[in-house]
Amino acid sequence: MKKTSTRLADGRELIYYDSRDDTVRDAVDRRPLDRTVTTSEVRRDPLLGDAVAIASHRQGRTYHPPADECPLCPSEGDRLSEIPDSSYDVAVFENRFPSLAGDSGRCEVVCFTSDHDASFADLTEEQAGLVLEAWTDRTAELSHLPSVEQVFCFENRGAEIGVTLGHPHGQIYAYPFTTPRTALMLRSLAAHKEGTGGENLFDAVLERELAGERIVLETDHWVAFVPYAAHWPYEVHLYPRRRVPDLLGLDEAARTEFPKVYLELLRRFDRIFGEGESRTPYISAWHQAPFGTLEEFDGVVRDDFALHLELFTIRRTSGKLKFLAGSESGMSVFINDVPPEAAAQRLREVASS
C-alpha cells in the first residue's frame, strides 16, 4: 500500500491509499474554495449524561446531487470534485460539513472506490483489503490528536438510512469522549469481570454463540453471528477469534482473511429479501476501545475490550422498514419483529455458491 497525503483548496487534508507503490498523486484542487467554517459544539445532557453535537452548518451540505455532479467521483475536465485526481483506489478526506471539528473532534469521508455505481459488496478482495488498511491507518493517526478519545469507522448505505450521496463511501468520526454505547459496554464488562473473578465478557459472549444456533459463518480467524438479543431485524456481529482492542491489533492472518469474510456477509445481506428487491440498506459499524483513560470503569483495561463489527439493516421484510417509534425512540427499548434464530437461519440459507 502507498499512502499520499495532500491538501484541498480550502486546507482540508486528503489522503490517497493506492495498491501500487509507483502511483503518483500530484493533482491540484483547482476549485476556488474559501476556508471551511464550522460551528460544531458538543453539549452534555445533564439528565442522561450523554453528548449531543450541535452543528448548524450541516444544513447546507450537499443533498442528493445528480450522478454527474457527485462530489466523491474523480475530477474530470471542468467537473471538479473533492478528489482532484482523475482516478483513485481509496481516498480519505476531512469532511467539508463535519459534525465534529476542532476541539470537538474530527470527521472524515472514506471513498471505497472511484466507481460511482458500485457498492462495497462489489469490491474485489484486494480493494476491500485496501479499505481495511485505510481504516487502520486513520485509526492510528486520529488516536494521536489531543482532542480525540475514540475512533469510529462506519458505513451508511441506502436512502432509507438517510444517505445523501449515492457514491460508495463511509465515514470516520473521531470523538473527544467515550461514546455512550461504548461506555455501556465497558460498564457491563467491568461488572462481569468483578462478578466472575476475572472472566472477560466478550470472550464469554463469543463462546456462547459458538455453541449455539445463531452462527452465520465462521472461518479460521473470524466468527459472524446474530446476537442473542438482536435489536434489529437482521443484525450480524463479526468478531476476530483472537480478542484485540482495535483495528491496529489485528494480526496478518486476520487481515488477510477479513476481505473474503466481510464481502460474503455484505453479499448475503443483498440476498435476504429475494430477487427483485433493491439492495439492502444497512449500517456497518466498527466498535473499538477508546484511547483515553478507563479509570471510571473499575478494573477494566484497554485490552479487555474486543474489537468487533456490527452490521444491521432497518428493513424487516420485503418493502417494509423497521421504524424507531415510541418504545425505541422514547425509552430505548427495542422491539424486534424477527427472532434472531430465524434471522441467522435466513443468512445461512442465502450463502453464495
Which of 169, 192, 221, 287 is an active site residue? 169
Please say whether the beta carbons of 308 and 301 come within 8 A: no
Using DSSP bridges, classify how beta strands 308-313 and 315-317 pair: parallel, antiparallel or unpaired: unpaired
CA dist., res. 162 & res. 155, Å (int): 11
Grid cell, residue 307, equals: 474489537
Count of other CB atoms within 10 angstroms of residue 75 = 20
Phi/psi of residue 343, nearest 5 degrees: -65, -45
169 is catalytic: yes
Half-sphere exposure of 193 (CA within 13 A, CB side): 17
Q: Phi-psi category of 30—alpha, beta or left, where left has phi over 0 and alpha has psi -120 to 50?
A: alpha
CA dist., res. 172 & res. 130, Å (int): 16
Give me the active site residues, please: 169
